[in-house]
C-alpha cells in the first residue's frame, strides 16, 4: 500500500523549485497560486536566500505550492491517484498539501488558508522571541519530563527517537544547559514556537476564515496530525487543520496508523527527505522514495506502480452523490449503536450529526457520526468486528450534498 506524505516548515532550501519550472504546467500553476497567495512563489522558490525563505509567511505557502505541483506532476490525472494512493498525510503545514491532494479542499483554498496561516503564525511568533529545538535520542518519557521541567512543549513527537521542543529562547537555552540524559539537541530553522500555546492568536484568526471554506469528504484516507486518526469528513479535516496550529504534531501516531494500514511504500513530495528519514527508522522494511527533482518523476511513477493497490469504490471513498461512508478512525472494535444513540439499521433515516456507534481501542474510544445524515443503506461490518484505520463501516444515502 502506498502512502503520500508532505513535509513541514524547515524542509525548504534555496532554489529547490528551480528545476520544477521545466515541467509542463508547473510554472503556470505557480504563477496562478502566486496571485492567490499574494506572494511571488517563483522568485522565492528559485532566487531567494535561506534567511528570506525562513520567514514563516513565505516558507509555508512555498512548501504547500511545491507539494501540490509535484503531486500533480506525478499524477497528471488526479483520479488515478485516488485509485492508487492508499493514504496521505502531511507534517504540520504539510497537512494543507495533503488536504488538497485528497480532495478535501481545492488547491486554491489551500493556498488562501496557507497564506493566512503563515501570516497569522508569523504575527503570533513576533509577540515573544520563541523557537524550536530537536531532541534526538534519550528515553521518550524522560525527554518529555525534562521539557516540562523547563516549561517547554513537546511540539512535534516524530517517532524514531525525535521529539521537538518549543518555547521561548530563554527556555530553550536552559534546556541546552540541562539536556535530557542520552539526548542530543539540534536547533531548527523556524521562526517561532509552532504547535504551542504561543500560536493561540493564529488559531482564532484561522477559525474565523475556516467557516467559509468549501469542503468535500477526502477521496483518499487522510491521516491527521492530532492523533493519527483517519478522517473522512472534509469539514473535520479543516477543523483539525486549524486547531493543530496550537497543538502538538503526533507524527509518531501517524506512522503507527500507516503501519496498521499495511503500508509498503512511502513517497514524500518536495522538498523531500525529512519524512522518509523518519519512516526509515520507524517503519523498518517499508520502502521509501524522496521526490526532490523532476528527473526522478519516471522513477517515482514506477515506485507508485510497485506499491499501489487498485482500490474498490468503497475503499477509495467514492464521493458520487448516491451514497456516503462512515469509516473507522483507527484500529479497534466496532460497536453498532449504544444507549442514547440513534438507531442505524438499513432503511433508517438519520438526522445530520447523528451518533450511530463507536470504535473502541485500548487507547481511546471514538464515536461514529453520520455527518450529513440520510438513509442507512447497509452496514459493512457486524457489531464487535475488529476494524482497521479508514475501513468503511456503513453506507448512507445523504439527504443533500455537503457544501
Cα dist. 288→250, 277, 279 in Å? Answer: 20, 9, 8
Banded pLDDT at 320 (limits 50, 70, 90):
very low
Banded pLDDT at 319 (limits 50, 70, 90):
very low
Q: Which of 50-59, 129-138, 317-326, 358-367 has the lowest mean pLDDT?
A: 317-326
Banded pLDDT at 313 (limits 50, 70, 90):
very low
- Residue-wise pLDDT for 99-120, tens only, equals 999 999 999 999 999 999 999 9
Q: Please give the average per-residue pLDDT across 36-54, as a whole number.
A: 96
- Residue-wise pLDDT for 150-180, tens only, equals 999 999 999 978 999 999 999 999 999 999 9
For residues 323 and 216, the model is more confident at 216
Res 390: pLDDT = 85
Res 340: pLDDT = 73
Banded pLDDT at 317 (limits 50, 70, 90):
low
Contact residues for 270 (Cβ-Cβ < 8 A; gap 6+): 16, 20, 66, 67, 70, 291, 292, 293
Q: Does the structure show a pLDDT above 70 at 402?
A: no
Contact residues for 173 (Cβ-Cβ < 8 A; gap 6+): none
* 34 annotated active-site: no
How many CB atoms within 10 Å of residue 22?
A: 11
d(C-alpha 37, C-alpha 54), whole Å: 17
The predicted model scores a pTM of 0.85
Q: Does the structure show a pLDDT above 90 at 399?
A: no
Q: Which CATH number fits domain 2-122+197-307: 3.20.20.20, 3.40.50.800, 3.40.50.2300, 3.40.366.10?
A: 3.40.366.10
Cα dist. 160→89, 220, 266, 360 in Å? Answer: 17, 26, 16, 26
Q: Does the structure show a pLDDT above 60 at 252?
A: yes
Res 105: pLDDT = 96
Q: Which of 150, 195, 307, 372 is catalytic?
A: 195
Provide the mean pLDDT of the chain: 91
For residues 232 and 246, the model is more confident at 246
Q: Cell for 168?
A: 521561548
Q: Which CATH class is domain 324-397?
A: mainly beta
> Under CATH, which number does the domain 125-187 receive?
3.30.70.250
- Residue-wise pLDDT for 180-198, tens only, equals 999 999 988 777 899 999 9
Q: Does the structure show a pLDDT above 90 at 226?
A: yes
Contact residues for 351 (Cβ-Cβ < 8 A; gap 6+): 342, 373
* 232 annotated active-site: no
Domain ranges within the chain, ordered by starting residue: 2-122+197-307, 125-187, 324-397
Q: Which residue has the cell 521562526?
A: 191
Q: Which of 34, 92, 109, 224 is catalytic?
A: 92
Q: Does the structure show a pLDDT above 80 at 232?
A: yes
Amino acid at each position: 500500500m502506498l502512502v503520500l506524505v508532505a513535509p513541514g516548515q524547515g524542509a525548504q532550501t534555496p532554489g529547490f523549485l528551480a528545476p520544477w519550472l521545466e515541467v509542463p504546467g508547473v510554472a503556470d500553476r505557480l504563477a496562478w497560486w502566486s496571485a492567490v497567495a499574494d506572494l511571488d512563489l517563483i522568485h522565492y522558490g528559485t532566487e531567494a536566500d535561506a534567511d528570506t525563505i525562513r520567514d514563516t509567511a513565505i516558507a509555508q505557502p512555498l512548501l504547500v505550492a511545491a507539494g501540490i505541483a509535484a503531486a500533480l506532476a506525478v499524477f497528471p490525472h488526479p483520479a488515478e491517484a485516488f485509485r492508487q494512493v492508499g493514504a496521505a498525510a502531511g507534517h504540520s503545514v504539510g497537512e494543507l498539501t495533503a488536504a488538497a491532494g485528497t480532495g478535501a479542499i481545492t488547491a486554491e483554498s489551500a493556498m488562501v488558508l496557507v497564506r493566512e496561516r503563515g501570516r497569522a503564525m508569523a504575527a503570533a511568533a513576533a509577540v515573544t522571541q520563541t523557537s524550536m529545538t530537536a531532541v534526538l535520542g534519550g528515553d521518550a518519557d524522560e525527554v518529555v519530563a525534562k521539557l516540562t521541567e523547563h516549561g517547554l512543549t513537546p511540539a512535534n513527537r516524530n517517532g524514531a527517537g525525535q521529539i521537538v521542543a518549543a518555547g521561548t529562547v530563554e527556555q530553550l537555552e536552559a534546556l541546552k544547559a540541562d539536556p535530557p540524559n542520552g539526548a542530543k539537541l539540534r536547533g531548527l530553522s523556524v521562526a517561532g514556537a509552532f504547535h504551542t500555546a504561543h500560536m493561540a492568536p493564529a488559531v482564532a484568526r484561522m477559525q474565523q476564515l475556516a467557516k467559509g471554506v468549501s469542503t468535500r469528504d477526502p477521496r483518499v484516507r487522510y491521516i491527521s496530525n492530532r492523533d493519527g486518526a483517519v478522517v473522512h469528513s472534509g469539514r473535520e479535516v479543516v477543523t483539525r487543520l486549524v486547531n493543530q496550529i496550537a497543538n502538538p504534531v503526533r507524527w509518531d501516531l501517524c506512522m503507527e496508523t500507516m503501519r496498521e494500514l499495511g503500508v509498503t511504500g512511502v513517497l514524500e513530495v518536495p522538498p523531500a527527505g525529512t519524512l522518509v528519514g523518519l519512516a526509515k527508522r520507524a517503519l523498518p522494511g517499508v520502502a521509501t522514495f524522496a521526490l526532490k527533482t523532476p528527473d526522478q518523476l519516471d522513477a517515482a511513477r514506477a515506485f507508485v506502480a510497485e506499491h499501489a493497490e487498485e482500490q474498490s469504490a468503497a475503499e477509495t471513498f467514492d464521493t458520487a452523490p448516491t451514497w456516503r461512508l462512515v469509516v473507522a478512525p483507527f484500529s479497534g472494535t466496532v460497536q453498532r449503536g449504544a444507549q442514547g444513540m440513534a438507531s442505524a439499521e438499513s432503511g433508517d433515516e438519520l438526522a445530520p450529526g447523528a451518533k450511530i456507534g463507536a470504535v473502541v481501542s485500548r487507547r481511546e474510544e471514538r464515536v461514529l457520526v453520520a455527518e450529513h445524515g440520510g438513509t442507512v443503506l447497509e452496514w459493512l461490518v457486524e457489531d464487535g468486528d475488529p476494524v482497521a484505520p479508514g475501513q468503511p463501516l456503513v453506507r448512507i444515502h445523504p439527504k443533500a450534498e455537503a457544501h
